DNA sequence: CTGTTAGCGCCTTCAA
DNA sequence: TTGAAGGCGCTAACAG
């Protein structure tokens, strides 16, 4: 009895204390008090989990309006099991491919009523690790990630406990994680075959580090195409900066076996190589035929328009996010994750030497 | 007495209950129990707010290691005043300018030990509003936003209560909000003057809606330049799609007063107009001189290389985020917000008719 | 249909 | 230097 009296007393002094604090946000019990009901009635009214009489509903609603009450999502997340938040990790944003992926992931998440905590790793596995921990401490319900330098990434099941994880663009060693990738090898192989069909015998490959999954996969496609045609490889990994790339391009062009075509393996390398060719005054496609992985706005307006392998960026993000929400809904961690491989599209423009445009989908 | 006994009893049964639940994350009291100390000692050890004896520190540390304990950031945020989270709202991500802004905002936030909740409004003020509410419910410590269609945006002080807000790229009507923008008018004016210096008398302006702050500000710069030179305006607002833009460009070129130069007011309009010119077979800069607002990768490789007004995208995001953390640290909401205007840079390439490259900074 | 109780994990306050 | 008590706002579980 005395206990319950205590509670009542508290209930009575609470409002004045509240009013004392100028800016305290109204809480559910403020609403309950004003409406003359218990907090659970307010809670139920908000969640709709259990019916409340339409008359009380009215009163609660007006109390909410009057106080301009908003539920404290932090308290909910803390109390319950779900934070309604997912984490999103990508290397960086200035690659339009990554930016598009982010756009679709956030869109899907918001459609599910979720918030997205985003972070950029800059390909730094240590920063990635720190940020993953931060996300886990915030109890995100799941994580979508493009792992930094895939093999070295510390993104593995044990780190996440029972929090679902979907990686995309690059898989990871851990087979229990879901992964969404594209036909990197197939796409690269096909476009190099196309260059071969144009009659090229000496085709160079330019890329960033081979320790990046996508770059390596594309290199393997390039290699396969050359091997099948009995041609010799000529690959350079190390387009880490404009200067390095310029040096590499220069030495290739001055070398004894000057390539007649070049294939660049992602947007960044493409930019560096194009700049280098521009600097050196090389004319495409006559001096050198050109094709690259990753489409971008205005590839159409380059001089000449560029032949590319296009990835469905938004689609990749959408599929990865959907997969994650699937996992979250089911609540179980699979023994073996899904491995989804999306098709790419070859877009023929002029830089390869084609006179006519065209496109082919590679599954 | 009986109360305290109750608590002790609870303390004793808790571990077994815990061990019963397979996957419960260890809590601070688990650590405390294992280390044979009170929870406050663990708390103090973690925060470093009060010294603990090095011997207990040892024990606590090993307990933490053994249990692989991570503090529950959700509980902290709930309990305390700070969520160590900021909200970030942008229209969309496929504009590289916006993507770069996001990159720098998240980088700055992470440097401050903060997480970033990101959302895209797609220029939809309703979605923007909903997402702001979600962020507020999550008790973000502050918000950085590019408001959707600035005048109509519902981003105003009352909505946010005492949560600090910094808008960037576009200001809002509310003068109490901090705003970071660039020299839109000055930059546009200068580049149009440059076209005039090339001898052009009929210069067209192409843009999205004038209800977008940046577009309007750039238009005003364009207008000023023409007025000062005694020339006639020729503006089109409505580059909302490729089709609309193509139609507009076509009719301009067929009209009685065909422009000899065109200025496009952002990346999107630029892309549409370039595509239209390409489709119609217009040659730059001879048939038509060209200049645009917003630089982008590979503007260098367009045919011809494009003359642009470049905004310091990363810098804008960095300044906006820093301003926000300033506000968060001070904890007071200003009567009148800061209005920071950053310079832009004119980058002369070939599309304007220049033979030589060059650049000028406009403050 | 509605209310009461209890406690999520942490840290502030008070007491030793 | 350390510990105990209490409560942040919410909702599951149990009464009525």
Q: Answer yes or no: do B134 and B248 share one domain.
A: no
Among B43, B71, B99, give the residue marking a domain's end: B71
Q: Answer yes or no: do A172 and A95 share one domain.
A: yes
Domain count, chain A: 3
Q: Answer yes or no: do A294 and A191 share one domain.
A: yes
For position A3, what pLDDT does the model report?
33
For position B95, what pLDDT does the model report?
85
Q: In a 3-state reduction of DSSP, which class is residue B314?
A: helix
d(CA A60, CA A37): 8
Pairing of strands A289-293, A235-237: unpaired
Q: Answer yes or no: do A281 and A200 share one domain.
A: yes
CB B205 within 8 A of CB B233: yes
Among B71, B94, B124, give the residue marking a domain's end: B71
For position A146, what pLDDT does the model report?
96
Q: Answer yes or no: do B229 and B284 share one domain.
A: yes
For all residues of chain B together, what is the average pLDDT?
A: 89
Chain A residues touching B85 at Cβ < 8 A: 117, 138
C-alpha closest to that of B143 among B199, B88, B208: B88
pLDDT above 80: residue B204: yes
Question: In this complex, do B23 and A278 lie within 8 Å of one another by their Cβ atoms?
Answer: no
Chain A residues touching B83 at Cβ < 8 A: 74
Q: Is omega for the bond preceding B143 within 30 degrees of 0, making it cis?
A: no
Q: Answer yes or no: do B244 and B357 share one domain.
A: yes
d(CA B117, CA A289): 44
For position B16, what pLDDT does the model report?
33
d(CA B197, CA B322): 39
C-alpha closest to that of A119 among A107, A110, A127: A127
Q: Is omega for the bond preceding B334 within 30 degrees of 0, making it cis?
A: no
**The pTM of the whole model exceeds 0.75:** yes
**pLDDT tens, residue by residue, A56-105:** 999 999 999 999 999 999 999 999 778 999 999 999 998 889 999 999 99
Which residue has the closest alpha carbon to C3 C1'? A38
Which is higher by pLDDT, B128 or B299?
Answer: B128
Which is higher by pLDDT, A331 or A248?
Answer: A248
Q: Where are the alpha helices (DSSP H) in chain B?
A: 2-20, 28-35, 39-47, 54-67, 73-79, 96-111, 125-137, 157-160, 184-197, 213-229, 242-254, 267-280, 313-330
- Is residue B77 included in any domain, yes or no? no
What's the CATH code of the domain at A49?
A: 1.10.260.40
For position B216, what pLDDT does the model report?
95
Round and report the angstrom distance from CA (A13) to C1' (D3).
Answer: 29
For all residues of chain A together, what is the average pLDDT?
A: 89
Round and report the angstrom distance from CA (A148) to C1' (D7).
Answer: 42
- Least CB–CB distance from B103: residue in A93, A161, A162: A93
Question: Would you say the C-alpha torsion B164, B169, B172, B174 has a positive or negative sign?
Answer: positive
Q: Answer yes or no: do B199 and B176 share one domain.
A: no
CB B210 within 8 A of CB B315: no
What's the CATH code of the domain at B261?
A: 3.40.50.2300
**Structural domain that includes position A65:** 3-71
Confidence label for B49 from pLDDT (cuts 50, 70 and 90): confident
- The C-alpha angle A162, A164, A169, rounded to 5 degrees, equals 145
Which is higher by pLDDT, A149 or B310?
Answer: B310
Residues 121..160 of B with a Cβ closer than 8 Å to A: which?
Answer: 127, 131, 133-139
Q: Answer yes or no: do B64 and B103 share one domain.
A: no
For position A300, what pLDDT does the model report?
79
- Is residue B80 included in any domain, yes or no? no
Phi, psi of B24, rounded to the nearest 5 degrees: -60, 140
d(CA B230, CA A209): 56
pLDDT above 60: residue A17: no
- Least CB–CB distance from B117: residue in A72, A115, A300: A115
Confidence label for B114 from pLDDT (cuts 50, 70 and 90): very high
Confidence label for A115 from pLDDT (cuts 50, 70 and 90): very high
- Is residue B78 included in any domain, yes or no? no
For position B2, what pLDDT does the model report?
34
Confidence label for B135 from pLDDT (cuts 50, 70 and 90): very high
Which is higher by pLDDT, A22 or B10?
Answer: A22
Q: Answer yes or no: do B67 and B110 share one domain.
A: no
CB A208 within 8 A of CB A265: yes
For position A307, what pLDDT does the model report?
96
C-alpha closest to that of B168 among B225, B108, B209, B246: B108
Q: Does A333 touch chain B (CB under 8 A)?
A: no
Question: In this complex, do B296 and A298 lie within 8 Å of one another by their Cβ atoms?
Answer: yes
- Is residue A274 included in any domain, yes or no? yes
pLDDT above 50: residue B11: no
For position B105, what pLDDT does the model report?
97
d(CA B285, CA B287): 6
Phi, psi of A101, rounded to the nearest 5 degrees: -60, -45
For position A203, what pLDDT does the model report?
97
- The C-alpha angle B201, B206, B210, rounded to 5 degrees, equals 120
Q: Answer yes or no: do B199 and B304 share one domain.
A: yes
- Is residue A146 included in any domain, yes or no? yes
Among A39, A71, A103, give the residue marking a domain's end: A71
Q: Answer yes or no: do B136 and B43 share one domain.
A: no
Q: Answer yes or no: do A142 and A289 share one domain.
A: no
Sequence-ordered list of residues with C-beta below 8 angstroms from that of B237, at least 6 positions apart, any chain = B207, B208, B209, B210, B215, B219
Task: Give the nucleotide nearest to A29 (CA→C1').
Answer: D9
- Is residue B273 included in any domain, yes or no? yes
Round and report the angstrom distance from CA (A3) to C1' (D6).
Answer: 15
- Is residue B126 included in any domain, yes or no? yes
Question: In this complex, do B134 and A71 lie within 8 Å of one another by their Cβ atoms?
Answer: no
- Is residue A41 included in any domain, yes or no? yes
Chain A residues touching B92 at Cβ < 8 A: 103
- H or E element, residue A251: helix A242-254
For position A2, what pLDDT does the model report?
34
Question: In this complex, do A138 and B73 lie within 8 Å of one another by their Cβ atoms?
Answer: yes
Task: Work out how many CB contacts closer than 8 A connect A with B.
Answer: 154
- The pLDDT of A298-320, averaged and rounded, is 90
For position A14, what pLDDT does the model report?
36
């Amino acid at each position: 009895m005395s206990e319950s009296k205590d509670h009542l007393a508290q209930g009575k002094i609470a409002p004045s204390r509240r009013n004392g604090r100028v800016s305290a946000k109204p809480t559910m019990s403020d609403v309950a008090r004003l409406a003359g009901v218990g907090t659970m009635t307010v809670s139920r009214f908000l969640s709709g989990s259990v019916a409340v009489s339409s008359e009380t509903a009215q009163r609660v609603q007006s109390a909410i309006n009057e106080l301009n009450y908003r539920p404290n999502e932090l308290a909910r997340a803390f109390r319950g099991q779900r934070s309604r938040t997912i984490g999103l990790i990508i290397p960086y944003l200035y690659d339009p491919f990554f930016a598009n992926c982010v756009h679709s992931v956030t869109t899907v998440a918001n459609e599910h009523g979720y918030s997205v905590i985003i972070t950029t790793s800059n390909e730094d596995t240590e920063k990635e690790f720190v940020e993953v921990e931060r996300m886990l401490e915030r109890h995100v319900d799941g994580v979508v990630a493009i792992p930094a330098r895939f093999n070295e990434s510390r993104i593995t099941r044990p780190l996440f406990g029972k929090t679902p994880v979907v990686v995309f663009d690059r898989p990871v060693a851990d087979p229990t994680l879901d992964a969404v990738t594209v036909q990197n090898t197939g796409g690269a192989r096909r476009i190099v075959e196309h260059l071969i069909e144009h009659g090229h015998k000496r085709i160079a490959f330019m890329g960033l580090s081979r320790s990046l999954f996508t770059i390596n996969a594309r290199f393997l496609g390039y290699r396969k195409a050359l091997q099948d045609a009995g041609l010799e490889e000529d690959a350079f990994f190390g387009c880490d900066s404009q200067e390095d790339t310029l040096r590499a391009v220069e030495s290739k062009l001055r070398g004894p076996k000057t390539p007649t075509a070049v294939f660049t393996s992602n947007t960044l390398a493409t930019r560096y190589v194009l700049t280098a060719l521009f600097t050196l005054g090389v004319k495409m496609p006559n001096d050198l035929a050109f094709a690259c992985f990753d489409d971008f706005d205005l590839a159409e307006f380059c001089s000449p328009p560029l032949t590319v392998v296009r990835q469905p960026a938004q689609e990749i993000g959408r599929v990865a996010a959907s997969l994650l929400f699937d996992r979250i809904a089911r609540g179980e961690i699979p023994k073996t994750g899904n491995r989804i491989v999306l098709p790419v599209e070859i877009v023929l423009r002029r830089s390869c030497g084609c006179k006519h445009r065209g496109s082919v989908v590679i599954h």
